[in-house]
Amino acid sequence: MHTDTERCVRAVRSKDARFDGWFFTAVLTTRIYCRPSCPVVPPKPENMTFYPSAAACQQAGFRACKRCRPDTSPGSPEWNQRADLVARAMRLIDDGVVDREGVPGLAARLGYSTRQIERQLLAELGAGPLALARAQRAQTARLLVETTTLPMADIAFAAGFSSIRTFNDTVREVFALSPTDLRARLPKTRTQTGDGGVTTVSAPGVLNLRLPFRAPLNPDNLFGHLATTAVPGVEEWRDGAYRRTLRLPYGHGIAALTPKPDHIACRLTLSDLRDLPVAISRCRRMLDLDADPVAVDEQLRTDPVLAPLVAKAPGRRVPRTVDEAEFAVRAVLGQQVSTAAARTHAARLVTAYGDPVDDPEGGLTHLFPTPQALAALDPESLAMPRTRRTTFTTLVAQLAEGTLHLGVESDWPEVRARLLALPGFGPWTADVIAMRALGDPDAFLPTDLGIRRAAQELGLPSTPAALTARASAWRPWRAYAVQYLWATDSHPINFLPV
C-alpha cells in the first residue's frame, strides 16, 4: 500500500487507525515517522513519504514519533494472510528466529539462500532481516525500560542486544532519547496509557501490557472457543481472563489475556525476560490480532446469506494457537468425540507427560507435553480406538523426529498434503490444523458437523462438495466465514465466558 501515495495521504488526513501497521508516514521536515492515525496535525503532502515497515523508516534515518508510538502499531495483516517467502520470513522474524539463530538460521528454516531472502525482504519491505529484527529489539527494549525496574544492562541483553553500547545507540537512534531518558519521561505512578501502553508491576518477571488491534473485534467466539476447549492444567478461564502456560525458547511463561473495548490486556509471567517478544508474538497470533476485519467483513457481506451474520456481530477472529504441534495433537484427540471428551484425553496426557510449572495466581499446573515426550508413551495406555491410536502415534513420532514440521514458516498447501498422507487424517483434521495452527485464512471445513448444521439452517448446500463450491465466493476469507457459521449455534464456544 505504501506505493499508493494518494491513498496513503487520504488515510493520514483522516487519521484512519485501520491502516496502522499497513504503512508508516515519514515526515521529511522533522525526520520522524508516524502511524497513519497520529493525533498531530498532518504534514503537507509534499513533506510526506511512505514506508512499508518501521525498520525501513529507521534505516532511512527517521526516528519514532513520541506521540503516536508507531513501533507499537498492530502488525501488518499481510503476514498472516499470505504463504509466500516474505510472509513466512516475517512470521519467523516476529517469533525471534533471527535473534536466536541469525540470518543463516532463518534461511535454513525457509530453504532459501541468505541472499535470496535479503533481496526479497529489501524489495518488499525496504529493510533486510537484520534491520527488521533490530526494530523488534528496539520495541522490546522500550517495553522493558517502561515496564520494569531492571538495570539497563539487564534490559539490553534481555531485549537481544549483543552489547550495552549497541543497546544505547539503537534506542537513541530510534527514539531520539537515551534509555534513561525514556524511563524518566514516565509519570511517577509509572503508568503509561495509549496503544502499546503498559503498567509496571513489582513482581520479577511479570509484565502488564496492552495488545492493540484493528477494530472491530468481537471477543465472544474468540475467547469462548479458547475457554470452552481449554485443557485443564494448561489453560483456564479465571476472573475474566483466558490464562495458559507457554513453552518458550529460553524458558516458560504464563499469559493472562483479558478482552477490553480498545485493546487486549495481557499479563505475562516469564521465567526468562528474553522470551518477551516471542511471548507477545504468540499471544497476538493466537488471538488473530493482526487481522484486517474491515477487509474480511466487506468480502463476506457480499454474500446475502452471510451479510446478516456479519452485520449482527462484525469483527470475528479465528482462534488460533501458541504451539502448532500441540494443536495438531489435540486435533487428533478431538476426532469424532465431544469437546468434553477431547479435553479429558488431553488432560490425562498433560498430567502424565507435561512439565510441571508453578502458578501462584491460578490453577495452571503444566506445560503441554512435547512430541518427544508423547512419542515415548505406551499406545495401549490411550483410551481410544486402535485406528486412532495409530493416527496419534504416527503424528507424534513424525513431529518428534522432525520429518513433519509445523511452524509459523510452514507452507500451507504443502503441510496440508503431508497431513492428508498420514493414516487417519481426513480433510477435517488437516483443514482444522491449517486454520487454527498454521493460520491459513482460507481454510474451510465443509464436513464439520457445526458447519453442516449452519448450512441447513441458512439454506446453503448441504453436501461438502456443493458447499465448497458455494463458498468459493468467500475466498480468501473462508476461515472467517467458518466463525460466522459456527456462531449460528448455541454451543458454548460462541459465547464469552462469565
DSSP string, 371-397: HHHHHTS-GGGS-S-HHHHHHHHHHHH
37-46 — which CB contacts under 8 Å span 24+ positions?
37/68, 38/12, 38/65, 38/67, 38/68, 38/70, 39/15, 39/67, 39/68, 40/65, 40/67, 40/68, 42/12, 42/13, 42/15, 45/5, 45/9
Q: What distance in Å separates the CA atoms of residue 132 and residue 251, rounded to the nearest whole number?
A: 24
For residue 101, count other CB atoms closer than 10 A to its CB: 15
d(C-alpha 417, C-alpha 427), whole Å: 10
Q: Which are the contacts of 282, defined by CB distance < 8 A and separation ≥ 6? A: 95, 246, 322, 323
The residue from 292, 297, 440, 448 that is catalytic is: 448
- Which residues are paired to 254 by β-bridges? 245, 269
Q: Which residues pair with 23 in a beta bridge?
A: 20
Residue 182's identity, in one-letter code, is L
* Residue 292 falls in the annotated catalytic set: no
Whether the CA torsion 148, 150, 152, 154 is positive or negative: it is negative
Instruction: Write the DSSP symbol of residue 64.
Output: E
From 34, 38, 68, 266, the catalytic residue: 34
Closest by CA position to 26, among listed 40, 43, 4, 41:
43
Tell me if 272 sits within 8 A of 59, measured CB to CB. Answer: no
DSSP for residue 316? B
Query: Within 10 A of 168 (CB to CB), how many other CB atoms are there?
Result: 17
How far apart CA 351 and CA 354 sit, in angstroms, is 6
C-alpha cell at 31: 525526520
Check if 181 is active-site. no
- Which residues are catalytic, by number? 34, 448
